[in-house]
Amino acid sequence: MKRIFKTGVALALSLSLLSSQLIWAGVNTAEAAGKKVKNVIMMIPDGMSVDGTTLARWYNGGQPLAMDEMACGLVRTYSSDAAIADSAPAGSAFATGYKSHTGYVATLPEVANMPGLRPITEEDKNRPVATILEAAKLAGKATGVISTSETMHATPADFTAHSTSRKAYDDLSEQQVYNNVDVVLGAGWKFMDGNNRKDKTDLISVIKNKGYDYVTTPAALQASKSNKIWGLFAPEALAYEMDRDPAKEPSLAEMTGKAINVLSQDKDGFFLMVEGSKVDWAAHANDPVGVISDILAFDKAVKVALDFAKKDKNTVVIAVTDHGNGGLTIGDAGTTKTYDEEPLATFINPLKKAKLTGEGIESKLNADRSNIKEVMATYFGITDLTEAEIAAIKAAKPGSMNYAVGPIISKRAHIGWTTGGHTGEDVVLYVYAPNGVDRLTGVVENTDIAKYMEEVLGLSLTDATKKLFVDANAAFKAKGASVELKDSGNNNMVLVVKKGATTLELPINTNIARMGDKKVELSGVIVYNGGRTFVPQDAVSLIN
**Cα 225 to chain center, whole Å?**
26
The pLDDT assigned to 126 comes to: 98
Q: Report the 10 Å Cβ neighbour count for 8.
A: 16
pLDDT tens digit sequence for 394-437? 999 999 999 999 999 999 999 999 999 999 999 999 999 999 99
Helix axes 344-352, 50-59, angle to 10 degrees: 80
Per-residue pLDDT at 70:
99
Tell me the residue ranges of DSSP E strands in 290-359. Answer: 315-319, 324-325, 329-330
User: With the C-alpha atoms ordered 537, 539, 543, 544, is the resulting torsion angle positive or negative?
Assistant: positive
Domain covering 40-327+420-467, topology: Alkaline Phosphatase, subunit A (3.40.720)
For 394, list phi and psi in degrees, rounded to 5: -65, -35
Is pLDDT larger for residue 32 or for residue 281? 281
pLDDT classification of 2: cutoffs 50, 70, 90: very low
Look at residue 437 in the predicted model and tell me its pLDDT: 97
Q: How many CB atoms lie within 10 A of CB 337?
A: 7
Instruction: Tell me if 492 sits within 8 A of 199, measured CB to CB.
Output: yes
101 carries a ligand binding annotation: no
Residue 322 marked as a ligand binder? yes
What does the pLDDT read at residue 22? 58
pLDDT at 165 over 70: yes
Torsion of CA 305, 178, 223, 192, to 10 degrees: 110
Domain 330-397+405-417 classification at class level: mainly alpha
What's the Cα-to-Cα distance from 352 to each of 154, 380, 406, rounded to whole Å?
32, 8, 14
- Which residue, 230, 194, 192, is CA-closest to 211? 230
**What pLDDT score was predicted for residue 451?**
98
Above 90 in pLDDT, residue 202? yes
Which three-class secondary structure state does DSSP give residue 316?
Answer: strand
**Residue of 224, 85, 251, 250 lying closest to 155 (CA atoms):** 85
Does the pLDDT value for residue 8 go beyond 70?
A: no
For the chain, the structural domain boundaries read 40-327+420-467, 330-397+405-417, 469-542
Q: Beta partners for 44?
A: 275
What pLDDT, on the 0 to 100 scale, is given for residue 23?
53
Please indicate if the annotation marks 122 as binding a ligand.
Answer: no
E strand spans, 105-235: 142-150, 183-187, 213-215, 229-232
How many whole angstroms separate alpha carbon 90 and alpha carbon 96?
A: 10
Axis crossing angle, helix 401-413 with helix 387-395, rounded to the nearest 10: 150
User: Which amino acid, residue 57?
Assistant: R
The answer to whether 415 and 289 have CB atoms below 8 angstroms apart is: no
From the CB of residue 18, how many other CB atoms can be counted at a distance below 10 Å? 15
pLDDT at 157 over 60: yes
Give whole-number Cα distances, 532 to 41, 125, 405, in Å: 33, 10, 46
One-letter-per-residue 3-state SS of 76-106: ECCCCCCCCCCHHHHHHHHHHCCCCCCCCEC
31: exposed, middle or buried (Cβ count in 10 Å: 0-12, 13-18, 19+): middle
The DSSP 8-state label assigned to residue 38 in this structure reads S
In this predicted structure, what is the pLDDT of residue 488?
Answer: 86
Q: Which residues are catalytic?
A: 87
List residues bridging with 496 in a β-sheet.
484, 505
Residue 81 among known ligand-binding residues: no
Q: 153 among the known binding-site residues?
A: yes
At 484 the pLDDT is 97
- What number is the average pLDDT over the span 386-395? 98
Q: Percent of the chain at pLDDT above 90?
A: 93
Which homologous superfamily does the CATH classification assign to the domain defined by 469-542? Answer: Copper amine oxidase-like, N-terminal domain (3.30.457.10)
Average pLDDT over residues 330-357: 98
* Measured distance CA(316)–CA(310) in Å, rounded: 9
CA 2, CA 28: separation in Å to the nearest integer? 11
275 is in an annotated binding site: yes
Tell me the chain's radius of gyration from C-alpha atoms.
24
323 is in an annotated binding site: yes
| pLDDT over threshold 80, residue 504 | yes
d(CA 484, CA 503): 11
Strands 533-535, 527-528: pairing kind: antiparallel
How high does pLDDT run on average in the chain? 94
28 pLDDT higher than 60: no
Residue 162, annotated as binding a ligand: no
pLDDT at 6: 34
pLDDT surpassing 50 at residue 16: no
The answer on whether 201 is annotated among ligand-binding residues is no
Q: Find, among 288, 285, 243, the residue nearest to 412 by Cα.
A: 288
CB 419 within 8 A of CB 316: no
Q: Is it the case that residue 19 has pLDDT exceeding 90? A: no
Q: What percent of the chain has pLDDT over 70?
A: 94
pLDDT in tens, 229-244: 999 999 999 999 999 9
Cα angle 511-496-200, degrees, rounded to a multiple of 5: 60
Q: Which of 279, 275, 280 is nearest to 294 (CA)?
A: 279
Q: How many CA atoms lie within 13 A of 306 on its CB side?
A: 18
Instruction: Give the model's confidence band at 26: pLDDT under 50 very low, under 70 low, under 90 confident, else very high.
Output: very low
φ, ψ (nearest 5 deg) of residue 22: -65, 140
DSSP state of 238: P
The predicted model gives 308-330 an average pLDDT of 99
CA distance 54 to 59: 9
Is 50 exceeded by the pLDDT of residue 216?
yes
